[in-house]
């Protein structure tokens, strides 16, 4: 009887072979799955490294390249090398991610790293070429052309003075794409256009305005007329909010620049009562600055002084007919137009017919009074005339004027819902007969806090701290009891 039980417990040899075969097949299957998973992971890592296939989960899409940059990179016909001046391990993580995305967006872009401390000869070599390399900056190379971007130029910085009097800064935004795309365009041989801002008359050209032009493919410089010559690449002179008048000698130099086919942009300070020489020069171009501050009773933003103008019949306005946006001009004077010396003048921006004008010196209230002049008023205008260049070709030169300086200050210029920045770029593009190809906003680094109410906190706590753990424990107990009964 005991022998029979023993025989019943013995497993047949065939069953053992099948069991071993099944285990071998299962093991091979597991190894195959592991090999496939490793291969897929390796290919994915290579693709991420090569093409930049990563998700940008930052709130403001800080690292995602704009269509402007992608279009420029797709048109590159020669290799461009981006040299980061530090070791890869010590590189700024934000800039490193931006560079990786540039390399992934074009076969013509390559990224390398240069340890300045380990390569002092390289630093000396570039210093001899008038390029001073600094840590965490980027050297953009394309053929024999080179541009260098310092670390500070890759960020929008807010500077302040601490309680000890020391200068400090905070990172307000990432403008690496703005500066890199502009530098690549310049190094790749696109024709350089320079804009010169006058100095010496208490002008007000905020950094936001300079950054806008630099990030849009223009090289900016500052010049004191009569002291420094205008560079050969300068196509446009900008007078930004001069509070003191220009001398006759300075205007003669400016007129010599204009006689050679240059362009002029004047942002006339509305609060400066008299600039007879500068105003007289504008009058010679058919643009007359009136002593009237324009106010709006209805089409305004927060104040009658912050008028929202309408677009006139000008080529500069074509862009705005295709893009639904509006401008805000805070505190501006009215202009009137004439056509002297063969000039053709056009109104670019007007107030509405509901606007009213006040004499600036006698203005005591913002509300409409009985003696106020009635709109509409011209608030921005162009004047153009023909000239013959050195090759004997007939071309056109321009003056753009607005008696307003507030609209290009940082709060208005960097508000993406407004078209203030676009107006400046469209005016320069029209005057220089170029396309506005580089319009890349600064990427804000600060993320907005998520406001969660007390009720939401209690609900989340009940779900994730109480309900979810109880559900898991209950499911585990049910499975355990079922298995125990089986």
Rounded Cα distance, 136 and 159, in Å: 19
Q: State residue 458 phi and psi, 5-degree precision.
A: -65, -40
Task: Pull the structure tokens for residue 427.
Answer: 């005016």
pLDDT of residue 1: 47
pLDDT higher at 362 or 399: 399
Nearest-angstrom CA–CA distance, 375 and 385: 28
The pair phi, psi for residue 100, each rounded to 5°, is -60, -35
Confidence of residue 57 (pLDDT cuts 50, 70, 90): very low
User: What is d(CA 431, CA 326) in angstroms, rounded to the nearest whole number?
Assistant: 21
Q: Taking a C-beta distance cutoff of 8 angstroms, is the pair 200, 221 a contact?
A: no
H helices then E strands: how many in the chain? 14, 21
The confidence band for 153, taking pLDDT boundaries of 50, 70 and 90, is confident
pLDDT interval class at 111 (50, 70, 90) = very high
CA dist 202 to 242, 243, 407, 478, Å?
6, 5, 18, 81
Question: What is the pLDDT confidence band of residue 441, given thresholds at 50, 70 and 90?
Answer: low
Cα angle 210, 211, 213 (rounded to 5 degrees) comes to 70
Mean pLDDT of 167-189: 79
Burial bucket for residue 55 (CB in 10 Å: 0-12, 13-18, 19+): exposed
DSSP H or E run through 380: strand 378-388
**Strand partners for 213:** none
Q: Is the pLDDT of residue 164 over 50?
A: yes
Has residue 9 got a pLDDT over 60?
Answer: no
Q: If 0-12 CB within 10 Å is exposed, 13-18 middle and 19+ buried, where does residue 327 land?
A: buried
Answering whether pTM is above 0.75, one says: no
User: How sure is the predictor about 242, in pLDDT bands with cuts at 50, 70 and 90?
Assistant: very high
Q: Which tokens belong to 448?
A: 């907005």
Q: Which residues contact 264 (CB under 8 A, 6 or more apart)?
A: 236, 237, 238, 239, 254, 258, 398, 399, 400
pLDDT at 44: 66
For 53, residues 6+ apart whose C-beta sits below 8 A from its C-beta are: 44, 47, 104
Higher pLDDT, 56 or 156: 156
CA pair distance 58, 40, nearest whole angstrom: 26
């Amino acid at each position: 009887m005991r022998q029979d039980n023993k025989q019943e417990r013995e497993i047949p040899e065939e069953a053992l072979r099948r069991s071993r075969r099944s285990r071998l097949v299962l093991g091979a299957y597991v190894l195959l799955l592991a090999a496939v998973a490793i291969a897929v992971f390796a290919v994915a890592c290579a693709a991420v490294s090569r093409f930049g296939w990563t998700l940008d989960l930052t709130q403001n899409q800080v690292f995602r390249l704009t269509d402007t940059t992608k279009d420029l990179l797709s048109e590159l016909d020669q290799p461009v090398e981006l040299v980061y001046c530090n070791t890869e391990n010590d590189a700024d993580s934000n800039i490193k991610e931006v560079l990786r995305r540039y390399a992934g967006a074009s076969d013509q872009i390559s990224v390398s790293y240069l340890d300045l401390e380990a390569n002092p000869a390289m630093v000396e070599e570039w210093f001899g070429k008038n390029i001073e390399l600094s840590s965490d900056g980027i050297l953009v190379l394309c053929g024999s052309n080179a541009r260098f971007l310092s670390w500070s130029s890759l960020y929008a910085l807010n500077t302040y003075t601490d309680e000890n009097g020391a200068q400090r800064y905070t990172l307000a935004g990432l403008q690496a794409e703005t500066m890199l795309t502009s530098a690549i365009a310049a190094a790749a041989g696109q024709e350089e256009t320079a804009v010169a801002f006058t100095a010496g008359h208490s002008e007000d050209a905020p950094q936001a305005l300079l950054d806008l032009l630099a990030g849009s493919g223009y090289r900016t410089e500052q010049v004191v007329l009569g002291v420094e010559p205008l560079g050969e690449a300068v196509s446009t002179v900008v007078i930004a909010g001069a509070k003191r008048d220009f001398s006759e000698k300075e205007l003669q130099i400016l007129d010599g620049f204009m006689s050679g086919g240059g362009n002029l942009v004047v942002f006339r300070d509305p609060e400066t009562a008299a600039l007879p020489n500068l105003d007289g020069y504008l009058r010679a171009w058919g643009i007359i600055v009136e002593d009237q501050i324009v106010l709006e009773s209805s089409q305004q933003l927060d104040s009658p002084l912050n008028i929202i103008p309408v677009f006139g019949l000008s080529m500069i306005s074509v862009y705005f007919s295709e893009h639904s946006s509006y401008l805000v001009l805070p505190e501006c004077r009215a202009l009137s137009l004439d056509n002297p010396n063969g000039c053709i003048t056009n109104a670019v921006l007007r107030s509405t017919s509901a606007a009213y004008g006040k004499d600036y010196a006698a203005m005591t209230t913002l509300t409409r009074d009985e003696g106020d002049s009635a709109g509409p008023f011209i608030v921005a205008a162009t004047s153009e005339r023909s000239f013959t260049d050195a090759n004997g070709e007939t071309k056109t030169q321009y003056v753009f004027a607005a008696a307003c300086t507030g609209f290009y200050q940082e709060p208005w210029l960097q508000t993406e819902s407004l078209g203030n920045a676009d107006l400046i770029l469209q005016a320069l593009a029209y005057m220089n007969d170029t396309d506005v190809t580089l319009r890349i906003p600064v990427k804000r680094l600060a993320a907005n806090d998520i406001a969660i109410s007390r009720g939401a906190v209690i609900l989340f706590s009940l779900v994730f701290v109480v309900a979810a753990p109880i559900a898991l424990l209950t499911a585990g107990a049910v499975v355990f009891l079922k298995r125990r009964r089986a």
